[in-house]
Amino acid sequence: MKRYWEIDALRGLMLVLMTLTHLPSRLTDPMGQPIGFVSAAEGFVLLSAFVAGLVYSRRAYREGVDAMRRAFWRRALKIYLCQAATLLFLFTIITAVGLHIDQPAVKNLLSYYLAQPHKAFVYSLLLVYEPALLDILPMYIFFMLMSPWVLAFALRHGWTGVMVASATLWGLAQFGLSEWLYELAVRWLGLPVPFHEMGAFNAFAWQFLWFVGLWMGASRNAPDARPFRFPRWLLALAMAVAVYGICWRHHGINGQAPFGGDVQRNLLFDKWQLGPLRIVNLVALGILVVRFGPGFMQRIPRLRWLEAMGSASLPVFCAHLVAVLSVLAFYGDSQTVRPWWGDVLLLGSVFMWLYGVARATLWWEGRGKA
């Protein structure tokens, strides 16, 4: 199947932004939500869902729904093995280093594991206990397991019912669905994992973003597929919202918290709950990318290093976690512990590592196909 190098480059860009955000350096805050109240995580999930819809719906059309389901499950298993390997790295090497040098950043990150190591280990493999930074792949696995059923239904009956159900679930997530289900699990199953140790992302909210991307990708394979087009008034409105969001983010007095200390109003832009105004900001940026992105990409030199990272997104994502956890173990989470030149050396070394992982992965995959 033909790869879309533009999408690979965008996914590579999202990985770069995530790395800059997660690595403690002087660039952490400026590069967090750099284009409004939207982070690289939203872009990465949406692009991954788009690619999944594009690839797996084509397989369903060509080879049948059963083949499509098996492909989804193989991918989910691969992601799970990557999560398990990263957890093993965290619970052994990072824990040993952090405890040896008495690193507060590691001890805080692993507080539940250090208090209940056996339960934490078992529940982490069950994708219930999700330490910070390791809570994205479990959500990804959940979406990959749900997608074959949703996609099969949508290909037969259309996407209207799917999107209504998904939007309803997102709405319930805004009013405490996750907390309610957690209380039931504690009451009836005796779940020992604290709620705040089950990952920052609210999967019941983020599934809406995933299934929007899945629909967009699958729609490209429909017999009557047409290019996405937007009226001029909508483009103008999207531009106004995007520019306002960027100015508010970078020139407002509160930085990444749009309403400062007002917790309730900040929930409207909340990342973990995927708040409603955050979706508005994301939709505005998405409209502009769809309309102007292809032309822009054709006018600039191809950034093949970004394409390589995007093509090998899963190994590169795991490699970025290894780098971030290692830095936390040795240097802590201070963003100013190193001089500027130290940050430059650190970031340069990490990105060379990520690019090396990407090239090695692509070489290995090409070798397997030869």
Give the mean pLDDT of 29-53: 93
Residue 288 confidence (pLDDT) above 50? yes
Cα 90 to the center of its chain, rounded Å: 19
Work out the percent of the chain whose per-residue pLDDT is above 90.
85
**How high is the mean pLDDT of the chain?**
93
- Taking only the tens place, the pLDDT of each residue in 101-152 is 999 999 999 999 999 999 999 999 999 999 999 999 999 999 999 999 999 9
Distance CA 79, CA 144 (A): 9
CA separation (Å) from 145 to 74, 131, 172? 10, 21, 21
Confidence class for position 294, pLDDT limits 50, 70, 90: confident
Contact 147, 52 (CB under 8 A): yes
- Taking only the tens place, the pLDDT of each residue in 234-257 is 999 999 999 999 999 988 666 788
At 287, list the tokens.
């409209």
Give the mean pLDDT of 318-335: 95
Higher pLDDT, 258 or 287: 287
Residue 260 confidence (pLDDT) above 90? no
Give the mean pLDDT of 332-359: 94
pLDDT at 369: 53
Work out the percent of the chain whose per-residue pLDDT is above 70.
98
Distance CA 262, CA 211 (A): 31
Q: Which amino acid is at 116?
A: Q
**CA gyration radius, the chain:** 21
pLDDT at 370: 44
Q: What is the pTM of this model?
A: 0.94
pLDDT at 9: 93
Residue 191 confidence (pLDDT) above 90? yes
Confidence class for position 5, pLDDT limits 50, 70, 90: confident
Q: Please state which of the ranges 1-5, 171-175, 183-187, 323-327 shows the lowest mean pLDDT.
A: 1-5
Higher pLDDT, 30 or 281: 281
Higher pLDDT, 41 or 4: 41
> 21-53 b/e with 16+ CB inside 10 Å = b?
bbbbbbbbeebbbbbbbbbbbbbbbbbbbbbbb
Phi first, then psi: give them for residue 198, nearest 5 degrees: -105, 25
Give the mean pLDDT of 347-355: 97
Give the mean pLDDT of 165-176: 97
pLDDT at 266: 93
pLDDT at 99: 95
pLDDT at 216: 95
Residue whose pair of structure tokens reads 């090409």 in the numeric block: 366
Of the candidates 228, 224, 76, the one whose C-alpha atom is nearest the C-alpha of residue 148 is 76
Q: Please state which of the ranges 222-226, 264-268, 300-304, 365-369 shows the lowest mean pLDDT.
A: 365-369
Contact 17, 31 (CB under 8 A): yes
